[in-house]
Chain A
Amino acid sequence: MFASRSDLPLDRDALSRFLPWLIAFMVFLAVLAMAGVLVLNTIAARWDKGITGTLTVQIVPADDPSKDDERLQKVLKILAETPEVDRFETLGDDKLLALLEPWLGTGVGVQDLPLPRLVDVELKPDAKLDVEALSRRVEARVPGVSIDDHSLWLGRLVRLIRTVEGLASMVLVLIVLATVGTVVFTTRTGLTIHRNAIEVLHFIGAQDSYVASQFAGRTLILGLKGGVAGLLLAAPTLWGIGFMARQMDSGLLPDITLSPVHWAALAGLPVAVALIAMMTARLTVLKTLSRML
């Protein structure tokens, strides 16, 4: 595919000095964009799954707090009788306080606040539960209970994430297009600079593909150099973003760590960009030379 040695002095012109830096910058941005796509995709998939599989039952405190436990037991009994429900769990006071911590801070006692009782319900896989009907049934026996299937706000959130994910993908595509455009430009410049040598190669019987291989091989090497540099810059940046996210530890942000598969995909990005640059250089040379005699 590419020659191991060069008959053209391609390593002495601007192409060689400029291209690795540019590809490093492009790969840096591409790695960040792709990491964003991967993380958002994971989050959206997780939340998508959450929408269809879970409910939260909220029992608003009654005027007489002593009846709250009785009301809770009635709700739990109804849930236990509902065939679509796989399992349910009443959130303890400590979990309730942890959920409220971002707003109220620490050091707040349960007894100080009229907190609702929350029941986390998980449905059986593929169960089709009529949430409206369940709400009416519960409300009839235990007034002041609401059932939230999260679909409204979580659906909007997932749509938002999907939109951001789409934008990040577009950024990725634009980065690739910008790289292709730059390689086309630098290759054409190289063809002009080395026109004399290319003519000599032609006169002694070199095929266009022979000349194209020289450019393609050189561009692949430059692309790999730049790509690896870009990845090495992006890796600590990603780690830093992840580190800061973990430091916040607020419970508001989902887990945004990258899996080994994600890291492998990101590591493959410089190679992919270098291969795209190589093919671009090859096609540019072949197209340009086809207009010569």
Chain B
Amino acid sequence: MTTDDNEAIVKFENVGLRYGLGPEVLQDVTFSLAPGSFHFLVGASGAGKSSLLKLIYLALKPSRGLISLFGRDIATTPRHDLPPIRRRVGVVFQEFRLLNHLSAFDNVALPLRVAGVRKSEIQKYVVELLSWVGLKDHLDARPPTMSGGQQQRVSIARAVIARPRILLADEPTGNVDDRLGMRLMHLFEELNKLGTTVIIATHNNRLVERMGYPRMHLDEGWLEIVGGSRSGPAQPASAAKENGATEGIDPAQTGRPDWEKLI
């Protein structure tokens, strides 16, 4: 879903990306996403899906073009101002990127700790969310002792714990069965209804067809946005705000994220 430039939560203009002196993996990518929109990012392996996500979560700088997040031009944003922007972007990494020396609880708690949320609140939110993703009995488990699916759920919990304004997920259902996969997609949908912009990179065409949201299709570095059967944001941004969607990620300010409601 594209939108007016003024409203865009993510805006790319003629963005190109190359690694070193290699060919451009992304070429003249131009799009803007409205707050509260839901998109699937699809394309063959090596089409540049992960690279596009990395540009959005500020892990890479574009070789050319302009990227703005939440109305701020990233190229001219001082380094010190980037962390608050990153806190508004939740990421589910394809390879999970959990910290192996920390427990599931501590991994999920990290975004809240970094944001300075009180310990008592962290305890409440994290236990609630891990319970919801079925890991109540694994709070103290270290990632290396967990299965791929369990690690993926910890990774998803870490990405959503702080109620980000944008959620990026790279193959989030790759390691879980269909039932749990749909349950996680339901979580993303519910977050989207609360105003979170969601982009999910996936190879699962069945899932994409079934959910019917617009697709950002990448083909050899070129992007095309294809409307789905459910066009537009899952819920208008204004309505999302009325439902409690907020600008920041601090649950201390936004109120208790009621995960039970999201089931």
B-contacting residues of A (Cβ < 8 Å)?
A: 7-9, 12, 196-197, 199-208, 210, 290, 293
Contacts and interface: CB of A to CB of B under 8 A. Distances in A.
Interface string B78-89: 011011101100
B60 A200 contact: no
Contacts of A205: 83-84, 86-87, 111, 114-115, 249
A290 B59 contact: no
A225 to B, nearest CB: 21
B79 A290 contact: yes
Contact of B97 (A196, A208, A210, A293): A196
Nearest to B98: A200
B91 A203 contact: yes
A196 B100 CA distance: 11
A204 B99 contact: no
A9 B59 CA distance: 22
Nearest to B101: A9
A200 B249 CA distance: 17
Contact of B99 (A197, A202, A208, A210): A197
Residue in A12, A201, A202, A203 whose Cβ sees the most chain B Cβ within 10 Å: A203
A207 B195 CA distance: 26
A7 B102 contact: yes
Interface string B90-134: 010000010111100010001101110000000000000000000
A202 B86 contact: yes
A199 B59 contact: yes
Interface of B: 57-61, 79-80, 82-84, 86-87, 91, 97, 99-102, 106, 110-111, 113-115, 158, 249
Contact of A7 (B61, B79, B99, B158): B99
Given A199-B97, A204-B114, 4 more contacts: A7-B110, A201-B110, A202-B86, A205-B84
B252 to A, nearest CB: 15
Nearest to A205: B87
Contacts of A290: 79
B77 to A, nearest CB: 11
A278 B58 CA distance: 30
Contacts of B158: 204
Contact of B114 (A9, A12, A199, A201): A201
Contacts of B111: 204-205
Contacts of A206: 83, 114
A205 B80 CA distance: 11
Given A9-B101, A197-B99, A207-B83, A293 B59 contact: yes
A207 B80 contact: yes
Nearest to A291: B79
A293 B86 CA distance: 12
Contacts of A293: 58-61, 82
The 3 closest A-B pairs by CB, nearest first: A205-B87, A9-B101, A205-B86
B251 to A, nearest CB: 14
14 contacts: A7-B102, A7-B106, A12-B101, A199-B59, A200-B97, A203-B57, A203-B59, A203-B97, A204-B86, A204-B111, A205-B83, A205-B111, A205-B249, A206-B83
Contacts of A199: 59, 97
A200 B100 CA distance: 12
Contacts of A207: 80, 83
Contacts of B84: 205
B101 A203 contact: no
Given A203-B57, A293-B61, A7 B91 contact: no
A8 B84 CA distance: 21
Residue in A202, A204, A206, A210 whose Cβ sees the most chain B Cβ within 10 Å: A204
Nearest to A289: B79
Given A196-B97, A197-B99, A210 B114 contact: yes
